[in-house]
Amino acid sequence: MVSVPQRRKAVRHLMSLYRVSERRACSLTRLSRTACRYKPRSEPQEALRQRIVEIARTRIRYGYKRIHVMLQREGIHVNKKRVHRLYCLEGLQLRPKRPRRNVSGAHRKRDYIPSTRRNEAWAMDFVADQLATGSKFRILTIVDTFTRECLAADIGVRLRSENVVATLTRLCRERGSPKRIHCDNGSEFSGQITDLWAYTNQVTLAFSRPGKPTDNAYIESLNGSFRDECLNCHWFESLADARLKIEAWRDDYNKSRPHRALNNLPPLQFVASIKN
């Protein structure tokens, strides 16, 4: 369907190129003459449109909802529908990141207890990527399932159980031990070294069912955003370069990025609000 502004352009094109009357041009484009002569009385939105484009270029995987949140933080209070309209007019629409599953998660049976406070439950998993030279590396990501904080994104060419235990020990020293940690059945998580660490620190390792990554949905959601907003947007020249860029993304994720599950607050601001 052709919009009214596009039909107005078509009318002006017909009148200038073929020298037809306004009545004839409106009849051909099926546009009323009143709509053709209409002039909007609203204030120009150039400054707002420019700011939306600037945010979208800086944060290329942000949709109009997160851009609306960022505008509100800057003191620009506009309707979400206006932001969506201007966002579409600038051609900034994003393609869907991942296809949705056809099977509803409500029909799955799982032994899962939602966390009710900070540091009660963590979730961890690995993400793989490669450098510009083609060398592969892995990232161990850990998230707090209540506050959605990205606690760690440690990088290494080969990450094994020893590296997992070292990262968990460091986090427990900084934050205290959680009651349980959700993870898959990989050898790095189900091996004797990790099991011994969990027993010593009185932490329960809650393993996902084989072939059911949605049992560990929090870390899968984090890894999806991590790949979409960081790994797919950067070109890593070395491990040091990757470590620098990934840590910058983690810092922005915790301090600035709006999170819909937290009422569009970043994780650290949500933590501050529940403390108060």
Query: What does the angle CA 64 – CA 66 – CA 71 come to, to the nearest 5 degrees?
Result: 90
How confident is the model at residue 14, as a pLDDT?
93
Sign, CA dihedral 107-221-196-157, equals: positive
* CA pair distance 134, 245, nearest whole angstrom: 18
How many angstroms from the chain centroid is the CA of residue 33? Answer: 45
* CA pair distance 256, 198, nearest whole angstrom: 32
* CA pair distance 88, 212, nearest whole angstrom: 36
Residue 108 has pLDDT above 50, yes or no: no
Sign, CA dihedral 22-23-27-32, equals: positive
How confident is the model at residue 98, as a pLDDT?
57
Is the Cβ–Cβ distance between 122 and 143 less than 8 Å? yes
Residue 148 has pLDDT above 50, yes or no: yes
How confident is the model at residue 59, as a pLDDT?
86
Give 166-192 pLDDT, tens digit per residue.
Answer: 999 999 999 999 999 999 988 999 889
How many angstroms from the chain centroid is the CA of residue 76? Answer: 22
Assessment of whether the complete model's pTM goes beyond 0.85? no
How confident is the model at residue 80, as a pLDDT?
94
Residue 235 has pLDDT above 80, yes or no: yes
Q: 238 vs 39, which has greater pLDDT?
A: 238
Residue 95 has pLDDT above 80, yes or no: no
Give 49-88 pLDDT, tens digit per residue.
Answer: 999 999 988 888 889 999 999 999 999 999 999 999 999 9
Provide the β-strand partners of residue 124.
Answer: 142
How far is residue 142 from each of residues 36, 132, 153, 259, measured CA to CA in Å?
Answer: 57, 25, 7, 17
Mean pLDDT rounded to a whole number for the chain: 88
CATH number, span 121-275? 3.30.420.10
How confident is the model at residue 128, as a pLDDT?
94
Range in 84-98, 173-187, 202-216 the model is least confident about: 84-98
- In this prediction, residues 133-157 reach a mean pLDDT of 95
Residue 16 has pLDDT above 50, yes or no: yes
Residue 44 has pLDDT above 90, yes or no: no
Range in 94-98, 137-141, 188-192, 260-264 the model is least confident about: 94-98
Q: 106 vs 95, which has greater pLDDT?
A: 95
